[in-house]
Structure 1
Amino acid sequence: MTQADKELENGKEKEKERDKEKEKEQQRGVKRPIAPAAIAEPLQEQIQSNFVIVIHPGSRTLRIGRATDTLPVTVPHVIARRHKQSGQPRYEDTWLLREGLNKPESNEQRQNGLKMVDQAIWSKKMSNGVRRTPVSAEQARAYNCQIRPAVLDSSSRAKWTNTSHHPPYLVGDEALYVNPSDCYNVHWPVVRGQLNVHSGAGGSLTAVLADLETIWSHVIQKHLDIPLKDLKYYRCILLVPDIYNRPHIKEIVNMLLLNLGFSAIIVHQESVCATFGSGLSSACVVDVGDQKTSVCCVEDGVSHRNSRLCLAYGGSDVTRTLFWLLQRAGFPYRDCQLTNRLDCQLLQHLKENICHLNQDISGLQDHEFQTRFPEAPAFLYQIRLGDEKLQAPMGLFYPTTFGIVGQKMTSLQYRSQGDSEDPHDEHYLLATQNKQDQSSKSVADRKAVSRLGGGLDGEVEEPLSTHLSRKTAIISQFESKALGLDKAILHSIDCCASDETKRKMYSSILVVGGGLMFHGAQEFLLHRIINKMPPSFRRLVDNVEVITRPKDMDPRLISWKGGAVLACLDTTQEMWIHQREWQRFGLQLMRRGFSAVTLASVFSEDRHGVTPHAYTCSVGVYLPHPPPPIGGVGIVPILRFILPIRLLPPGGPGGPLSSLKPDIAELPRFDKSGFTIVLKNRLKNSTPSQKRSISRDSPQGAWALLPSTRPLDTYTIVYKL
């Protein structure tokens, strides 16, 4: 018997066995599946939360831990690197000092800001209905200048970090206590929520990324007790600011997946994670950090792009202002310097203990503090203070008090600068869209072209270049202003698409971060929001609520806790970016993720009836390889995209909606750049084809109407990933 005959006989035997199995199943009443097993949905891998590490990198503090941990490990986000050569000049990143403080106008601006603060303090009555009696700095100065410190101990018991074994680097508290005479450079890799790239020593992007990798790997090994070789079994959730630098995030993801070796990663925005951690479905999230303050409206796990604001000030600016006020009041510790990192720690401790936003606390009060520095005795100081304790934190509402001149103080969501690994990005879409607009201009001059602000179909809109130049001018003028915290919140809520969303935001203002942890802050912020909100909304909003400690949790840990909650949700299983996917697709995965947020925002806008003149239907789109969104759609299943399709009736805006009944003509077609849905119009009379495109840069569902010259009976929906 030949080999071919043997194979034929074996095939017949296998076929007989399959027939016998079918007969047995029919006898048992078992129904065979209609679809073959080869195309069944793959089983999702059950992810263990104790193998997920949540990283929340702040400007001053790093919070990191397993998703199952009750509290994260908290360490100063600083590193000290030993000089490679002897005699190398020493370099240290400043903590409280920043650019724009030593301008000729700085002191005048600071004084003007203080006058506005004093006026605001006087205008608000105390709870007993009486106005506060102002206390001048001279009254406190007369007492403080006579104070001499008391020696508590000949040795402070604080010691410099031991560097006798010449470690190449020191991390956290060890870096803070490195002796200035040692040959080490001190770096803070994150400043105001962004990578600290500068022209000084260790300021290149490569050096900053190396600092991050060293700090994070050191903490993972030392505090989490996880060897680096085992990170291939772990996944990572990285929290990023609401207004992020996309190229920097790309490099950080590269570092985590390719250098440290995590098996997968989710990158999520801080504001969305804050709502997860607090258990709120919708909120205006106000994150007051050490060096920046971000405001963003989040609804159902979606961060509204237009509502994002980043203010370039935070708790460290309050600390520096307090030091200026203490000096005016005769601060008894006269050797205090803002260039000394240990003095900065002392001032930070003083701010946390004595500052408040309670109008009922007035008059002169006595306080005491200790100084414990290495190689020096421990001293006890007495100090008498008045309104300084209230004036310093009020700088958050009157930023001119910080005395910062010539710096960009307010940032909006800006466009990505593009990346060579991501050719089909927003710039590509705009360029190709402009060409289409130019070719159709002679046919339809009055048709609307795509614009950032969006609008109803049929409205006459200005050309894209004109709109962008006007928008750039408005943003430049807006960013030069230093918005107070209350005004920033009102502006963010006002940018929401519908009145219903605005009501939700006013009823749930969530304050997280450690920059506003002052006694009386909740009542103070609530009072200012109610007094400054638009009069039309005062009648519509039933209850304005400011939440500073949801579930009695530390507000500094809310966002990290939200990242831990995210790791436990079933809906996040499809959000993971794996090593192989990242190596193959790179930045395109992140762009896909942000597109999911745009889809959710569009659906939300149509749901609230913003487009009454357009026919709206919803199509469920299932991606074969669902993208892992960075901005996140929260509890919405990632596998299913609800794509709202708005089509004008044949008679134009206001025409009979019943005359237009689109139906899906064929299954969505997928390619490398996105997917296409074709809708067939069930009308007897043919109508012009309308091709609609949406990209991740179209905030709140800004659709582009591209008319065609051929009369067809189909509508094509093109979605570019």
Structure 2
Amino acid sequence: MVGKVSERVLLREGLERTDNGMKQTSWPDVPAINQKNYYTDYMKRDDQVLALRPQAEATRDRLVQTAKDRDRALARNGHAEVPLPIPDLQGAEDATATADGQLDPSKIIVIHPGSQNLRIGFASDALPKTIPTALATKFPQTESEMYEALPRRKFEGKTPTNKWSKKYQKMCSELKVEMRANKRKVLPNSKELVVNYNRRTEAEKIPTHNDPLQVEWTDLENLEDPNSAASCFIGQAALRVPDDSNPKFKVWWPMHYGWLNEDEYTTAEHLCDDFETLLDRAIRQELGLTKSSSWRNYSCVFVIPDLYDKRYVEQVLKSCMSWFEFNRVCFIQESMAAAFGAGYTQACVVDVGAQKTSIACVEDGLMVEDSRINMKYGGFDVTDTFIRMMLYDNFPYQDINLRRRYDFLLAEELKMKHCTMQQADISVQLYQFHLRAPNQPTHKYQFKTYDEVILAPMGFYEPNIFDNSTKLRGRRKLMDRSYNSYDVDVPDDPQSAAQLAILALVQPSVASGANGFQPSASDPNLATPMKEKSQPFNFLSRENGTPMGSNAPSPGPEGTSTPVPAPFLFSANGNGTASPAPNGTAGASGTNGARNGLSPAPPPPGMFVDSTARSAKTLAIERDAVLPVAPLDIAILTSIQNAAKGDDKKLRDYLGSIMVIGGGSKTPAFTQTLEDKLKARRPDLFDRILVSRSARDMDEQVVTWKGASVFAKLPANDSWITPFEFERLGARVLHHKVLWAW
């Protein structure tokens, strides 16, 4: 190390230090911040957020206008010292509020698109207009010519190796045993009577002039512009277009299984255009708003699924602002809307639709995010399975094809008339139906049924009897999943612990994260952000040891001091092995969790890193490849246990307030059967379980729409999105406006 050099040496070498007193820079000096005491309010006030600022300004302007109106009324009265009566002021405020359309229910359009039906109407209407979510446009081929016939004829061989035949025969045998146990009369040759009668029966032709209930088919001359390829029919008119029409028409379904139908479309533009056209024609034809220039005076409340795709919601927002140009738009989730419609503050909402079944728990008007479940079966699967069972038993109309429009309507009619879940109604019955096809004489058929009418809806508890082979076909083909804005490789579509448990029941490998460890409660890919997260599969487990590694064991979870019988076991294929799905008794500690089939706790961050571990995108792709299908009673218990988070009181409250809605639940004795199934799963809470329909004797199909209309009329609603906000922020405005964690 060189020692200190003298100034004389530096002067000789020309390295002497000189100082002319000039600063290094003219930029002002910034004193260092005091790390012990500093404060900033950046982005901590509402007036700093563009999406929240107009709302505060509107409230302030309304208060100023109210004060001006009050002063003007007092001055006009001539007695300024005498205040006006309160009712007069209230009336003046209401008149002001409704003058600009802010609180006028007749200026609010409520839209609820389901998997098979679209419900639309004004918030002031008692009931919505219901139309099928179908469009018929000119096409070289009809849907019956393009696709395979439904139900699929794979089972017709009736060979012993046919899997579906084995499942059907097993369900028949189990039903006989159960009916005998319930002291029901079971004839030994009932099935043979049905099969032999259906084999011998012949169709009877009825001349057209003798059929008073002839169907009025859609007249093709009613097209707005017959020469335009964009002209179409929607709703019931689309399903009444003759299959042998000239030119040919194809029926498109933009919604399928609760999400956009990417399977039947080739481009995303065509899919979105059909969805917008469906809403456009519905507003014009059903609501009478024929001039699009008047839509700017109307607001819109749009109902979206509980487990939604962000791309779908963003596309809907873009359409409402750009295509329809509504005055305001807000979104509400289905289960929240159902709770509003039924007037429940706490409930487990079970929405059985046509092609999907969603379950979620609602508490104090907000949804418990980890309780959301979306399964891909519903009323249409019951229709398909019922016709398949009838064909297996020699149904006289063997050429039935649900791809044909008149056969689809006939199958829906047969299901609604004959399917039941009441064992007292099961016996050999003789029925008849009329087949009315376009440009053909009416055919009258007679047929007998036995246990098909109850086994088809019992598929909700035996979903493997449904045809699930094509439900994921085309998924993510046209529209990719949404990704995080800051990390483009991390998907951010909402997930829930209950949905992950259902997927783990079907395929256990999806429950494990990197290195085979179970995802922790802090995993951002497990659910949408919340302040508090629980373990997705073993939320009753609270014994993780003390932080310093004490030898003393941690206290046991509350409510487990007294032995409680196991509520139920998730077992795949009936082998009795517990899957990673939640369980009320499994996994009280780390060793017990491993012994019960649960994975150990994840290692600390930064340890045991595997270079071959699966990424978040890979996990999302793997989960998308698993069809979420599970017995309805198991799914409800899974949702409730994830909502309760180990709280025994909440668990009992949710079990006592299960509300079943949706058109798929209108089968007779549906709620009684579901209640019996749940009580069999949880015998320890036999007296607590209560399954009911919606209050006020409301139609189950319109409860969600009715709740959305009630929500639209609330005076204090902070979730409205205006065109000004959408123009400045785009889809980012949803982060500030929706009532849940976006």
Instruction: Give yes or no for TM over 0.5.
Output: yes
Note if 1:256 corresponds to 2:320: yes
Letter of the 1:326 partner, please give it: M
Distance 1:239 1:100 in 2: 37
**Displacement of 1:372 after TM fit?**
1.9
**Displacement of 1:329 after TM fit?**
2.2
**Displacement of 1:424 after TM fit?**
8.4
**Residue in structure 2 matched with residue 529 of structure 1 by the alignment:** 678
Distance 1:355 1:248 in 2: 34
Distance 1:358 1:426 in 2: 51
Distance 2:463 2:282 in 1: 35
**Displacement of 1:63 after TM fit?**
0.6
**Displacement of 1:321 after TM fit?**
0.7
Give 1 or 2 for the bigger CA radius of gyration. Answer: 2
- Structure 2: runs of 5 or more not aligned: 1-70, 72-79, 84-95, 494-519, 525-532, 536-541, 548-600
2:730 alignment partner, one of 586, 592, 595 = 586
1:513 alignment partner, one of 662, 669, 673 = 662
Q: 1:296 to 1:134 in 2, by over 3 A?
A: farther
Pairing 1:426-441 to 2, within 5 Å after superposition: 427=490
Pairing 1:400-415 to 2, within 5 Å after superposition: 400-405=464-469
**Displacement of 1:473 after TM fit?**
9.9
**Residue in structure 1 matched with residue 653 of structure 2 by the alignment:** 504
Note if 1:187 corresponds to 2:291: no
Letter of the 1:194 partner, please give it: W
Q: Secondary structure at the match of 1:294?
A: strand
The answer to whether the Cα contact below 8 Å between 2:491 and 2:620 also exists between their aligned partners in 1 is no
Q: Secondary structure at the match of 1:519?
A: coil
**Displacement of 1:193 after TM fit?**
0.6
The answer to whether the Cα contact below 8 Å between 1:135 and 1:364 also exists between their aligned partners in 2 is no
**Displacement of 1:405 after TM fit?**
4.1
- Structure 1: runs of 5 or more not aligned: 1-20, 22-26, 31-42, 431-447, 593-626, 632-695, 697-720
2:452 alignment partner, one of 376, 388, 392 = 388
Letter of the 1:184 partner, please give it: F
Q: Secondary structure at the match of 1:356?
A: coil
**Displacement of 1:480 after TM fit?**
5.4
Q: Secondary structure at the match of 2:131?
A: strand
Distance 1:372 1:406 in 2: 29
Note if 1:145 corresponds to 2:199: yes
Pairing 1:465-614 to 2, within 5 Å after superposition: 472=619, 476=623, 479=626, 482-496=629-643, 497=645, 498-533=647-682, 535=683, 538-539=684-685, 542-572=687-717, 574-592=718-736
Pairing 1:445-460 to 2, within 5 Å after superposition: 450-452=522-524, 454=534
2:123 alignment partner, one of 56, 62, 67 = 67
More moved, 284-293 vs 451-460: 451-460
Pairing 1:52-63 to 2, within 5 Å after superposition: 52-63=108-119
Letter of the 1:250 partner, please give it: E
1:196-243: CA deviations, max 9, x gaps? 113x5x442221211121111111111211132111111111111111
Distance 2:322 2:483 in 1: 19
Letter of the 1:158 partner, please give it: V
More moved, 144-153 vs 305-314: 144-153
Note if 1:204 corresponds to 2:267: yes
The answer to whether the Cα contact below 8 Å between 1:96 and 1:344 also exists between their aligned partners in 2 is no
Q: 1:485 to 1:588 in 2, by over 3 A?
A: same
In the superposition, the TM-score normalised over structure 1's length comes to 0.66
Q: 1:506 to 1:418 in 2, by over 3 A?
A: same
Q: 1:451 to 1:62 in 2, by over 3 A?
A: closer
Distance 2:314 2:492 in 1: 21
Note if 1:365 corresponds to 2:429: yes
2:107 alignment partner, one of 19, 43, 51 = 51
The answer to whether the Cα contact below 8 Å between 1:110 and 1:402 also exists between their aligned partners in 2 is no
Larger strand fraction of residues:
1
The answer to whether the Cα contact below 8 Å between 2:342 and 2:695 also exists between their aligned partners in 1 is yes
1:43-72: CA deviations, max 9, x gaps? 987411111111011121111000111111
1:308-341: CA deviations, max 9, x gaps? 1111111111111111111122212233223212
Letter of the 2:136 partner, please give it: A
**Residue in structure 1 matched with residue 53 of structure 2 by the alignment:** none
Letter of the 1:557 partner, please give it: V
Distance 1:233 1:70 in 2: 21
Q: 1:147 to 1:342 in 2, by over 3 A?
A: same
**Residue in structure 2 matched with residue 304 of structure 1 by the alignment:** 368
1:400-444: CA deviations, max 9, x gaps? 1114348669x9xxxx94458x558995999xxxxxxxxxxxxxx
**Displacement of 1:172 after TM fit?**
1.3
Q: 1:359 to 1:251 in 2, by over 3 A?
A: same
The answer to whether the Cα contact below 8 Å between 2:354 and 2:664 also exists between their aligned partners in 1 is yes
1:121 alignment partner, one of 172, 175, 180 = 175
In the superposition, the TM-score normalised over structure 2's length comes to 0.64
Q: 1:150 to 1:570 in 2, by over 3 A?
A: same
Q: 1:160 to 1:398 in 2, by over 3 A?
A: same
The answer to whether the Cα contact below 8 Å between 2:119 and 2:129 also exists between their aligned partners in 1 is yes
Q: Secondary structure at the match of 1:360?
A: helix
Q: Secondary structure at the match of 1:284?
A: strand
The answer to whether the Cα contact below 8 Å between 2:155 and 2:392 also exists between their aligned partners in 1 is no
Q: 1:306 to 1:129 in 2, by over 3 A?
A: same
**Displacement of 1:461 after TM fit?**
5.7
**Residue in structure 1 matched with residue 233 of structure 2 by the alignment:** 170
Count of equivalent residues: 528
1:116-155: CA deviations, max 9, x gaps? 4335423435796446556653320211222223334425
Distance 2:491 2:165 in 1: 49
Q: Secondary structure at the match of 1:379?
A: strand
**Displacement of 1:463 after TM fit?**
5.0
**Displacement of 1:296 after TM fit?**
1.2
1:498-538: CA deviations, max 9, x gaps? 322222210011111111211111111110011012x5xx2
Pairing 1:412-423 to 2, within 5 Å after superposition: 417-418=481-482, 422-423=485-486
Distance 1:449 1:359 in 2: 44
Q: Secondary structure at the match of 1:511?
A: strand
Letter of the 2:634 partner, please give it: K
Distance 1:426 1:282 in 2: 37
Distance 1:551 1:153 in 2: 45
Letter of the 1:57 partner, please give it: P
1:240-260: CA deviations, max 9, x gaps? 111111111101110012111
Note if 1:274 corresponds to 2:418: no
The answer to whether the Cα contact below 8 Å between 1:450 and 1:464 also exists between their aligned partners in 2 is no
Note if 1:80 corresponds to 2:221: no
The answer to whether the Cα contact below 8 Å between 1:288 and 1:294 also exists between their aligned partners in 2 is yes
**Displacement of 1:109 after TM fit?**
3.6
Q: Secondary structure at the match of 1:586?
A: helix
Distance 2:735 2:467 in 1: 39
Distance 1:449 1:114 in 2: 41
Q: Secondary structure at the match of 1:145?
A: helix
Once superposed, what is the RMSD of the aligned Cα atoms? 4.0
Note if 1:343 corresponds to 2:407: yes
**Displacement of 1:578 after TM fit?**
1.1
The answer to whether the Cα contact below 8 Å between 1:126 and 1:132 also exists between their aligned partners in 2 is yes
1:626-649: CA deviations, max 9, x gaps? x342x4xxxxxxxxxxxxxxxxxx
**Displacement of 1:114 after TM fit?**
2.2
Identity %: 28
Distance 2:620 2:312 in 1: 26
Q: Secondary structure at the match of 1:197?
A: coil
Distance 1:481 1:502 in 2: 24
**Residue in structure 2 matched with residue 445 of structure 1 by the alignment:** none
Distance 1:101 1:249 in 2: 38
**Residue in structure 1 matched with residue 603 of structure 2 by the alignment:** 462
